[in-house]
Amino acid sequence: MERMAEAEKVTMALDDRVIDVTKGIDKLHVIIDKQKNEPGKRQTIDCPICGAKAAMTYVFSPYNGHLHAGCTVCRVSIMQ
Ligand SMILES: [Zn+2]
């Protein structure tokens, strides 16, 4: 029973983390949509997930248009 309670706590913590990262990705798109974005041009912004100053870089691939973003502080890495 104790292991079930512990597993439930871990699952709830992971759910919270997924929700936080998802909200951060939504914020990232709001920020990016306001910038002049050229494919292949790497840009640095404050991380919309952990809030660290100038910690996230992102770039749109010149090959396929995918967004690649990552934070050096919270280590979130995004590819869409
Ligand atoms: Zn971060």
Cα 38 to ligand 1 centre (Å): 23
pTM of structure: 0.81
The pLDDT value recorded for residue 57 is 97
Tens digits of per-residue pLDDT, 20-64? Answer: 999 999 999 999 999 889 999 999 999 999 999 999 999 999 999
Tens digits of per-residue pLDDT, 8-23? Answer: 999 999 999 999 999 9
Angstrom distance (rounded) from CA 69 to CA 44: 9
Cα 35 to ligand 1 centre (Å): 19
Q: What does the domain layout of the chain look like in residue ranges?
A: 2-79
What average pLDDT does this structure show over 69-77? 96
The pLDDT value recorded for residue 54 is 98
